[in-house]
Structure 1
Amino acid sequence: MLWLKALHIIAVVCWFAALFYLPRLFVYHVDTRDDAGHDRFVIMERKLYRGIMTPSMIATLVFGFWMIKDNPALWFSQGWLHAKLSLVALLVVYHFLCDHYRRQLAERRCQRTHVFFRVFNELPVLALVAIVMLVVVKPF
């Protein structure tokens, strides 16, 4: 179980690093006017999303659910875990929303501003704070 927990935490750290960085790239990409800059952002965003962000999300989910599968009583008796998994579900939606914006930016059809992406970039921080509090404090 400790190996699973360690692998889960490593995957979570990698996933959150990408969740923090990709929308920050969007902030700068949306204001890029030259073709070379646009092309550079498209490549960076695609490699981050496909090479780090998505594999990290998959690993996070696999190791997390594996731990629950190995200890199903935890799932049925711990309210904090239900809240955590609800937040994880929202992060998965956020993850795919990032891909939606990534594709729009690549195709030069994104109507969002750098201000929108600055706010959008802060949403995973709120989820991270809540998840860590739930896991450590286990309030219910």
Structure 2
Amino acid sequence: MLWIKAFHIMSVISWMAALFYLPRLFVYHTMSEDEISRERFKIMERKLLRGIANPAMIATFIFGVWMSWLGWDYYSTQIWYWCKIILVTLLTVYHHACIAYFKQLRDNRCSKSHRFFRVFNELPVFLLVGIVILVVVKPF
């Protein structure tokens, strides 16, 4: 179980790093004034999303479900666990919103400003704080 937990933590760190950086790239992308810069950001965004964010999210789910399955008798009765699942679901929705914005930017049809993406970039921080508190402190 400790090996699974270790790999789960590593995949969560990778997923969160990607979710923190991808919207930051969106900020810079929307601020770009020349085609060369915009094309460079499209490449960076695609590589980050497909090479790190998506695989890390999938690995996070695999290891998380695996741990849950092994400890189901315990986890299924814990309120903190179900609250964490809700926050992870919201984080997954955020991830898919990033995919939607990536596609809009890739296709030059995104109407969001760099200011929007600066605020959007902060949302996963709140989810991460909640998830870590629930897992470590187990307040209920």
Same fold? TM cut 0.5: yes
Q: Return the alpha-carbon distance in structure 2 between the equivalents of residues 133 and 81 of structure 1.
A: 11
Indicate the residue corresponding to 1:59 in structure 2: 59
Identity %: 58
Offset from partner CA, 1:5-38 (integer Å, 9 cap, x none): 0000000000000000000000110111211001
Indicate the residue corresponding to 1:8 in structure 2: 8
- Opposite residue 64 of structure 1, the aligned amino acid is G
- Confirm or deny that 1:77 pairs with 2:69: no
TM-score of the two chains, using structure 2 as the length reference: 0.98
Indicate the residue corresponding to 2:136 in structure 1: 136
TM-score of the two chains, using structure 1 as the length reference: 0.98
- Opposite residue 42 of structure 1, the aligned amino acid is K
Q: Return the alpha-carbon distance in structure 2 between the equivalents of residues 50 and 76 of structure 1.
A: 32
Shift of 1:77: 1.3
Secondary structure, counterpart of 2:31 in structure 1: coil
**Tell me, which stretches of 5 or more residues in structure 1 are unaligned?**
none
**Tell me, which stretches of 5 or more residues in structure 2 are unaligned?**
none
Offset from partner CA, 1:52-105 (integer Å, 9 cap, x none): 000000000100010010111123211000000100001111111101000101
Q: Return the alpha-carbon distance in structure 2 between the equivalents of residues 21 and 36 of structure 1.
A: 20
Aligned CA RMSD, in angstroms, stands at 0.6
Indicate the residue corresponding to 2:86 in structure 1: 86
